[in-house]
Amino acid sequence: MDNLFLLLCLISFVCIFLGLLMPKRFVFWSNKKTRKSAGLVYVVLTIVFFILFGMTVPPSQQASTSDVKTNETTKVKKVETVNKKDTEKVEKINNTSTQNDKASSKVATSQSTNTIEDSKKNRIPVTLTKTVDGDTIKVIYKGKEETVRYLLIDTPESKKPNTCVQPYAEKASDRNKQLVNSGNLTLEFEKSERDKYDRLLAYVFVNGISVQETLLKEGYARVAYIYEPPYKYLSKYEKAEDIAQQKHTNIWSQSGLVTEKGFVGCATKTVADSSTKSNSNTNKNSVATTTTPKPSNNTGNSNAFKNDPSDDQESNTSCKGKIKGNANSKIYHVPGGAYYDKTQDNIVWFCSAADAEAAGYRASKR
């Protein structure tokens, strides 16, 4: 019955519009076939049939509609519950990930700390006897005075034979002297303990602070001589060098001073080398000629360079007395040569001229 009333309601609703459009056909209860009469009657019929439809709808359908709404509400609640559970799972995963990251960070920190502690244990206390220049000192090591060359850095030259004093060399030397005299001195070795000149190669620390890193950070040194990487402190040294370079500190303040091969230029017009011309026909004294800084192939006279016996070194002594090479000038001298006996600093002995030339040395012109 409810479906019948619904159908009649829909027909009456349609007849409203048809009666307004064609009153003569759809008004059959009166002789006055007007639009007003048609619209009024069909509106009333529509309302009546709609009310009857509502009254005849079975309670089960109303309950079903209510159940549908209830089910939809329940589904929404279930979805919300599932979303909450998913959110909780995600939070748990995030918390677990965070805990794992913290644990990894602690492990990495612990490993780094252990490495540093191991390095500290390997450091050897020594006694300073002399500061040679910006990257070289002399110490008492195992009861003997040894020359220590700083590992991985290079400073401008101030005492290298046959060369002028380079810019910032004296400042670097003074700063190095200040550092190594400021506390307890220790050495740490890595890979080769000695270089080809039999000098100790080491990391130098004063009261646990790296002297190399300080010189780099303050712009007195450059990172150099990376022969057998990896090195323990290389990355720290490179960062320290970058800091000075970005701030244009000291050696980095002068464009072109620092090159991959070393330092260029002279700080003063100090005589680097001079030659002595003697007159064999007279008894006059030798006179030293002063020139502007200029590299020379030979060892200068006493006015140009005075040898420091404490700075003398020899290597490859198994060939001693044969070919004598100067490690600074990369020139070798043969017995009977003009400068064979005069060459006294940083000597490298060779058994033959061929050995010297194979090592990058050239023959003296005199």
Residues with a known catalytic role: 149, 157, 199
Q: In the beta sheet, which residues pair with residue 287? A: 277
Helix, strand or coil, per DSSP, at residue 36 = helix
Tokens representing residue 171 in the block: 């400042």
Judged on CB neighbours under 10 Å (0-12, 13-18, 19+), 29 is exposed
Q: Quick one: residue 210, left, alpha or beta (phi over 0 = left, psi -120 to 50 = alpha)?
A: beta
Measured between alpha carbons, how far is 80 from 83 in angstroms, rounded to an integer?
A: 5
Tokens 């549908």 correspond to 68
Instruction: Give which of 261, 260, 212, 205 is closest to 239, Cα–Cα.
Output: 212
Pairing, β 127-133 against β 153-154:
unpaired
Name the β-bridge partners of 223: 153
Which stretch of DSSP H or E encloses residue 69? helix 59-121
Question: Up-side HSE of residue 234: CA atoms within 13 Å toward CB?
Answer: 11
Q: How many CA atoms lie within 13 A of 190 on its CB side?
A: 18
What phi, psi does 220 have (nearest 5°)?
A: -105, -5
Distance, in Å, from the CA atom of 190 to the CA atom of 115, rounded to the nearest integer, reads 14
Question: How far is CA 231 from each of CA 119, 238, 287, rounded to the nearest angstrom?
Answer: 13, 11, 50
